[in-house]
């Protein structure tokens, strides 16, 4: 598995730090794309960095954290090839890998605690896509990128 790509905005610096500490202790390799300081910043810039890393083949999976996880997921889902899922529970994290082949996990520091976020991340990173009938649906989702409306 390639190193995961991870980033946060100023609202989720602490949650990112907890996730990185957890990954260091469990041996999960990562590349940290920032932000690295408390200064107010714009989450779409950081979503783009992680999505670019995936699209450039540097990472297969990414994690984005902000205050709610929602802004990051909206921004990431505007990037080609990205299927971002904002999760607040382990069931959703498991099934968004099994059924949606999500490649970016988003979470909110103001929504969930660090312990739950680490569990969600572990499940997300260790669950494989089921394929089969779900591949057809994922292909349909990705085909929406090509349509003009």
Question: Where does this chain bind ligand RB5 (CB under 6 A)?
Answer: 9, 11, 43, 66-68, 70-71
User: What are 77's strand-pairing partners?
Assistant: none
CB of 62 to ligand RB5, least distance (A): 16
CB-based closest residue to ligand RB5: 71
3-state SS class at 62? strand
Nearer to ligand RB5, 41 or 98 (CB): 41
Q: 77, 71 in Cβ contact below 8 A? A: no
Tell me which residue of 84, 78, 86 sits closest to 12, measured CA to CA.
86
CA pair distance 38, 122, nearest whole angstrom = 26
CB of 80 to ligand RB5, least distance (A): 21
CB of 38 to ligand RB5, least distance (A): 12
For this structure, is 22 an active site residue?
A: no
For this structure, is 134 an active site residue?
A: no
């Amino acid at each position: 598995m390639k190193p995961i790509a991870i980033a946060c905005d100023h609202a989720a610096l602490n949650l990112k730090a907890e996730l990185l500490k957890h990954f260091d202790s469990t041996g999960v390799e990562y590349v940290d794309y920032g932000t690295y300081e408390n200064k107010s910043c714009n989450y779409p810039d950081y979503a783009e960095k992680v999505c670019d890393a995936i699209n450039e083949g540097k990472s297969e999976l990414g994690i984005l954290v902000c205050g709610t996880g929602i802004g990051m997921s909206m921004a990431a889902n505007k990037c080609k090839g990205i299927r971002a899922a904002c999760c607040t529970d382990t069931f959703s994290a498991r099934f968004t890998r099994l059924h949606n082949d999500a490649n970016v996990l988003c979470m909110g520091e103001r929504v969930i605690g660090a312990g739950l976020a680490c569990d969600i991340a572990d499940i997300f990173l260790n669950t494989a896509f089921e394929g089969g009938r779900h591949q057809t649906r994922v292909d349909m989702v990705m085909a929406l990128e090509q349509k003009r409306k």
